Amino acid sequence: MTERTRLRRLPQRGSNEIEAVYAILDAAFLAHVGFAVDGLPFVIPTLFGRAGDRLYLHGSAASRMMRTLESGVPVCLTVALVDGLVLARSAFHHSINYRSAVVFGTARAVEDPQRKSEALSVISEHLIAGRWADARPPNSQELKATAVLELTIDEASAKVRTGGPADDEEDYALPVWAGVLPLTMRAGEPLADERLMEGMPLPGYIKEYRR
């Protein structure tokens, strides 16, 4: 841990245990990637996948983010999951229950076609396990048009809030409902593409999908 990942605000909610960071990364779909270009900050949402201590990002080969990151600039990647609204008796103590992770590292371009395809499969399997084996793999032209970056996790921290509201002692006597409104992400009913081949069954990994 360095000053970059030292938690100053409510440090009791934080952890530098890498397994805690991995668990949060694995539960998230979307990461936000922060970097600077010519002194200006940018934060871009993007899909990602994890294999061990490495994260994989992909995008258009013409993407400013991909071209900037592969030049070796410092990268900050974050994810956040909201688990509930914490409703206190006072407006001041309202909060949310959440899990978040912050990762620092440096990205490298994945150039070898075989490794690039493997990295893309990591991203695909992160989103929905089993899909990569069913779908047509990228052809050489598609691989050439796609930039893939490998980001080694050099340093990371996690921060989590759980539990109910923490009101001031005198406010517990107020006639105001207080507690937690849980929030979850769930899959809806699959919607078949209008040009789906007749008789095509719904794959089990979609039918039984859980996050």
Residue 72 included in any domain: yes
Residue 181 included in any domain: no
pLDDT recorded at residue 135: 96
Residue 189 included in any domain: no
**Residue 25's domain spans which residues?**
11-84+97-164
Domain count, the chain: 1
> What backbone phi and psi angles, to 5 degrees, belong to 53?
-95, 20
pLDDT recorded at residue 11: 52
Q: Consecutive 10-residue runs of the chain (211 residues): their mean pLDDT?
A: 50 72 96 95 97 96 93 96 98 98 96 96 97 96 96 95 97 98 95 96 94 76
Residue 205 included in any domain: no
pLDDT recorded at residue 174: 98
CATH number at residue 28: 2.30.110.10
Q: What is this structure's pTM?
A: 0.88
Residue 158 included in any domain: yes
Residue 129 included in any domain: yes
pLDDT recorded at residue 17: 87
> What is the residue-wise DSSP string for 81-111?
EEEEEEE-SSGGG-EEEEEEEEEEEEEEE--
What are residue 81's DSSP bridge partners? 99
Closest by alpha carbon to 124, among 184, 45, 205? 205
Residue 62 included in any domain: yes
Q: What is the CA radius of gyration of the chain?
A: 21
pLDDT recorded at residue 102: 96
pLDDT recorded at residue 107: 96
pLDDT recorded at residue 8: 46
Residue 54 included in any domain: yes
